[in-house]
């Protein structure tokens, strides 16, 4: 282990050597300077760079002032338009409530044109067929023929007797137009049409088949 030697500071020669090593004032700080004592070159460089940036920005704005002012105007107008559009997109409740009242209960020409108009369908002629000559199956044959001609046969049967010589059409509702249609379908003359109203029957006419049935159109 190395032995430490203690300096004798009372010796003038040793004092002189120590004084020469530490400086004239004897303060070691002058021999070993700290970081803070270094010259602030980076600060000077940063300040110089900031000055250059400001000068360059000012020169750019000065040279392009017209474009810069137009850009500011466009930005301001776009912001005003957006705010105006938002206010217009939300109308007041009073305006919204008043608009539907203009067309309340009104039917436009287009709507009226598309609505189908119901057509009145004429009621079919309704008759009953009675056998007045006693020929079997005669009423059924005439019934089938009349239905083919769109005449509704609501009932068929036998007349009160079988001694009817001529086939006769009895008008039950006093509608000569309908009775004439029956006459024409069967091929009978108008003289064989008679008016005998009976509202209780609820039909247009009664056809009584007579012995001349072979003269009817279905049998020709």
pLDDT, tens digit (0-9, with 9 covering 90-100), for 60-83: 777 777 776 777 776 666 666 555
Instruction: Please indicate whether residue 137 or residue 58 has the higher confidence score (pLDDT).
Output: 137
Location of structure tokens 């009160």: 160
Residues in Cβ contact with 15 at an 8 Å cutoff, skipping those fewer than 6 apart: 9
Q: How far apart are CA 212 and CA 220, in angstroms?
A: 12
To the nearest 10 degrees (0 to 180), the angle between helices 41-63 and 65-88 is 70
Answer whether 136's CB lies under 8 Å from 182's CB.
no
pLDDT at 104: 55
CA angle 131-165-128, nearest 5°?
Answer: 30
Predicted structure pTM score:
0.48
pLDDT > 80? residue 201: yes
pLDDT of 97-145, one tens digit each? 455 555 555 555 555 557 676 777 678 999 999 999 999 999 999 999 9
CA–CA separation, 113 vs 109, rounded Å?
Answer: 6
Say if strands 126-131 and 205-209 run parallel, antiparallel, or are unpaired: parallel
CA distances from 187 to 5, 131, 142, 171 (A): 166, 17, 12, 16
Domains and CATH numbers, the chain: 126-219 (3.30.70.2390)
Q: What is the pLDDT of residue 82?
A: 57
Q: How confident is the model at residue 56 (pLDDT cuts 50, 70, 90)?
A: confident
């Amino acid at each position: 282990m190395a032995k430490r030697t203690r300096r004798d500071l009372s010796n003038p020669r040793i004092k002189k050597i120590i004084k020469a090593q530490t400086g004239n004032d004897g303060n070691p700080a002058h021999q070993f300077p700290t970081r803070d004592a270094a010259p602030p070159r980076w600060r000077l460089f940063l300040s110089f760079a900031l000055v250059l940036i400001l000068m360059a920005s000012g020169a750019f704005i000065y040279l392009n002032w017209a474009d810069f002012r137009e850009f500011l105007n466009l930005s301001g107008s776009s912001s005003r338009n957006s705010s105006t559009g938002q206010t217009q997109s939300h109308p007041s409740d009073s305006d919204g409530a008043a608009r539907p009242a203009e067309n309340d209960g009104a039917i436009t020409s287009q709507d009226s044109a598309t609505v189908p108009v119901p057509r009145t369908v004429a009621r079919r002629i309704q008759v009953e067929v009675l056998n007045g000559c006693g020929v079997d199956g005669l009423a059924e044959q005439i019934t089938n023929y009349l239905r083919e001609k769109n005449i509704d046969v609501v009932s068929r049967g036998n007349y009160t007797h079988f001694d009817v010589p001529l086939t006769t059409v009895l008008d039950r509702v006093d509608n000569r137009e309908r009775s004439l249609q029956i006459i024409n379908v069967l091929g009978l003359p108008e003289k064989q049409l008679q008016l005998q109203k009976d509202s209780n029957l609820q039909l247009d006419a009664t056809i009584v088949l007579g012995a001349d049935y072979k003269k009817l159109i279905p049998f020709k």
